[in-house]
Amino acid sequence: MASLSNSLFTIVLPIFGLIFAGFIARKTNRLGAQASSEINRFVVHLALPALLFDITANTHWATLYQPRFIAVFGLSTGAVFAATLALRLKHARPLADASIDGLNAAYPNTGFMGLPLCLLVFGRDSMAPAVIATIMTVCLLFAFAIVLIEGSMRAATSRRATVAKVGKSLLVNPLLVAPLAGALWAATGIPLPQGLEAFLKLLGGAASPCALVALGLFLAEKREGARRHASSATLLVAMKLGVHPLLAWVLAFHVFSMPPLWAASAVLLSALPTGTGSFMLTEYYRRDAALTSTAILVSTVASMITVTLCLILVPR
């Protein structure tokens, strides 16, 4: 288990390194005050859409049809998102911000941490559940949160006008259009041209690193009232690292009958810290990112302990 802990540290270390690089770049004024927002705009408008299109266009849907795993991961993730959303709305949090809080509590870092960690712990057979979890997280959960945010921010007196505004915004949102276009491409059965595939890999590969650098840039800025987010951040981290994997464990081992590898993978993927998706949306929609950045940083640090415990306790 010591070797697994060391390997987990090796996987997490680059995340801290990228955040720290952005932090130092801002503190030394190598990058300016607007760098975080501009880099995040690059991620949202170019890098992440390329990644989402690449994932969905290269997905063989028939081989990924695993209803029990989808139910376990989907129900646990959806329940945590809905519970967090309800709690934050109860405390008079605007719907847009409450939706982002829901992502902070339910959006696991499946792409940057989940894929290499599953490969390390369970071998290549675990790549299928890791890919399914990634698609559900970065496409479905992300898309649902965007719909809520758009609906909240474009409210109007007329319900018909509100629906029209939200619908128009969603139709031109690259984070929704890209995976849909990729799924339509996959349905044709035509492989992506090598040149296009190489382009998507290069551009999409920049999404997570750039988002982490942007997070470091944001953290380097002096902001008032950071302490007021301490209790909220604690709640979000507890939901992400505690409630989410616990729900997945109950569903995987006591509700649905699943092969041990798939059940253990569902729990491990649910136990991952908060991904950068919520930070991308806070910057994109110009919301207060202080709470989100704190939740991502704290959950990533704390996951060194909680994921290790998960590896020890969950049978496989």
Give the residue extent of every domain in the chain.
2-220+230-313
Entry pTM: 0.81
Quote the pLDDT of residue 51: 86
Tokens describing residue 40: 């995040």
Quote the pLDDT of residue 257: 86
Determine which helix (DSSP H) or strand (DSSP E) holds 98, and give its type and residue range.
helix 95-106
pLDDT 10s digits, 67-100: 999 999 999 999 999 999 999 999 889 999 999 9
pLDDT 10s digits, 19-33: 899 999 999 999 988
pLDDT at 286 over 80: yes
Per DSSP, 191 falls in state P
pLDDT at 165 over 70: no
Cα 245 to its chain centre, rounded Å, is 15
Residue with tokens 């959303």: 85
pLDDT at 201 over 90: yes
Quote the pLDDT of residue 304: 82
Indicate the class that CATH gives domain 2-220+230-313.
Answer: mainly alpha
Q: Determine the angle formed by the axes of helices 142-153 and 159-171, rounding to 10 degrees.
A: 140
Q: Determine the angle formed by the axes of helices 174-188 and 142-153, rounding to 10 degrees.
A: 140
pLDDT 10s digits, 234-265: 999 999 999 999 999 999 999 998 899 999 99
